[in-house]
Amino acid sequence: MVKAMTALDDVRTDPPATVGVGQAALRDQNLAVVATLAFAADEPVSRAAIAAASGLTRSTVSRLVDELLAGGVLRELPRQVAGRGRPATPLAPARGTLVGLGLEVSPSYLGARLVDLSGDVVAERVLPAHLERSDAPEVLGRLGRLAAHVLAESADDWTALAGVRLAVPGLVDSAGRVLRAPNLGWREVSPTDHLDAAALAVAGGHSGPPPAVGVGNEADFAALAHALDAPGRPAGSANFFYVSADIGIGGACVVDGVPARGRHGWAGEIGHTLVDPAGPQCTCGARGCLEQYAGRDALLAAAGLDLETTAEALARAARTPGRAQEAVAQAGRALGVAISNVVNLIDVDDVVLGGQFVPLVPALRPALEEELRRRVLAAPWLDVTLRPGEGGLPALTGAAFAALGDVVAGPSAWLQVA
């Protein structure tokens, strides 16, 4: 439940307190409460519904909603006459105003996706590439130009860039530094040194301060896209483990709708679970990691297929007996070992297989489920659900949602901008 902040932040039983909270802070917090409620709703909501849910008066809510409408955070839909009483004006997240930019460096592509507050994709570009052992400044320079292009070509369709998030397949520290991205060959890279936020800000031709650029783990962003239907709007699943597969394999444990990132933000790294100590050498330096069985290149090599083969084509090849079918079954067993560990350690029963695994889920399932039955200690009492994730590069969407999440959580900062 979202609660409105009030002047009484330290309430007492006996004499009424007179603890002061500035009027400006109070307004900012209440704007956030109203925005959060309006964004979280499955369907457009009325001012009255927001008042009821927040505990704020209807006059306060109306005043705050007016600010959010004027600022391009919310929009009004046509009035509806529902049952008796005065017709209510439904409110919904604004369209084509503030946008979030999701960026991604993957071993096999560069991507930029611009999303508005309603969750609609305003523009996007994805550039196939081979970035396995790439030069970070050069790659980030290219990504910056791609992003500027996306912003410029869609400039008429939005009003202000709220924020930018970059997804990378690796460990990112709290300062936004990529400590290690084995499948890019990157080590201790600060992407913001090479991505020009000021250039991004002017690329769309709009005025305003340079947007905040954040950097995060690709699997965390992909998991966030699975947890949300749109910025600030929870999807059906709030507790699941997300496996993100490309050449490398990442993961994220989502608890109550939020990726549980751990003490330093490095949680969820399922890709280096030991599958066999006698297994092949991994890019991380160890032997027999999950990636060496279920990562894209490992899978395609075991299947005897060209490394450019799509996951869909591999899934088709795996329908008939042969090397492809054996390779996918082996990947399923390896994934089963790793996911059994996750279930035993974290006690989660909903597993989402994303990225390249999406079309492969039916082919992976038999061996994977057999391993779960064998290795999950609670298997007889626990029904672990395996589901495919969304296609379409979800980390880009999650990164844009994360940038827009700042607007929902603190809209007042954007009311001056828009």
- Write out the residues near its own copies by the rule CB under 8 A: 3-4, 6-8, 10-15, 17, 26, 30, 55-57, 59-60, 171, 173, 179-180, 182, 239, 251, 253, 261-270, 272-278, 284-286, 337, 340-342, 344-349, 374-375, 377-378, 380-382
**Cβ(34)–Cβ(64) under 8 Å?**
yes
Q: Which of residues 87 and 262 has its CB atom nearest to its own copies in the complex?
A: 262
3-state secondary structure of 89: coil
Residue type, 291: E
H/E stretch holding 224: helix 218-227
Q: Six-digit token pair at 89?
A: 């004006």
Nearest to its own copies of 17, 127 (CB atom): 17
We find the least distance from the C-beta atom of residue 85 to its own copies, in angstroms, to be 22
For its own copies, the closer CB: 81 or 175? 175
Sign of CA dihedral 298, 303, 305, 311: negative
Closest approach, Cβ 95 to its own copies, in A, equals: 30
Report the alpha-carbon distance of residue 242 to residue 253 in Å, rounded: 6
User: Please, what is the minimum distance in Å from the beta carbon of residue 366 to its own copies?
Assistant: 18
CA angle 267, 273, 276 (to 5 degrees): 175
Chain center to CA of 386: 19
- What is the 8-class DSSP label of residue 86? S
Q: 403, 116 in Cβ contact below 8 A? A: no
Minimum distance, C-beta of residue 47 to its own copies, in the bound complex (Å): 15
Name the pairing type of β-strands 350-355 and 240-245.
parallel
CA distance 121 to 111: 13
Q: HSE (CB half, 13 Å, CA atoms) of 111?
A: 24
Minimum CB distance to its own copies smaller for 143 or for 289: 289
Pinpoint the alpha helices (H) of 272-360.
291-294, 296-303, 311-317, 323-346
Q: To the nearest whole angstrom, how small is the minimum distance from the Cβ of residue 156 to its own copies?
A: 40
Cβ closest to its own copies, residue 84 vs residue 381: 381
Give least dist CB 310 to its own copies, A: 28
CB of 65 to its own copies, least distance (A): 15
The span from the first CA to the last CA of the chain, in angstroms, equals 29
Min CB(279)–its own copies separation in Å: 9
Nearer to its own copies, 234 or 265 (CB): 265
Compute the CA torsion angle 134, 136, 140, 141 (nearest 10 deg). Answer: -90
Alpha-carbon span 401 to 398, nearest angstrom: 5
Of residues 92, 100, 41, the one with CA closest to residue 398: 100
In terms of CB distance, is 142 or 177 closer to its own copies?
177
Closest to its own copies by CB, 273 vs 356, is 273
Q: Rounded to the nearest whole angstrom, what is the least distance from the CB of residue 94 to its own copies in the complex?
A: 25
**Closest CB 115 distance from its own copies, rounded Å:** 28
- The whole-angstrom separation of Cα 83 and Cα 42 is 20
* Closer by beta carbon to its own copies, 48 or else 121: 48
Which residue type does 110 have?
Answer: L
Q: Which is nearer to its own copies, 315 or 376 (CB)?
A: 376
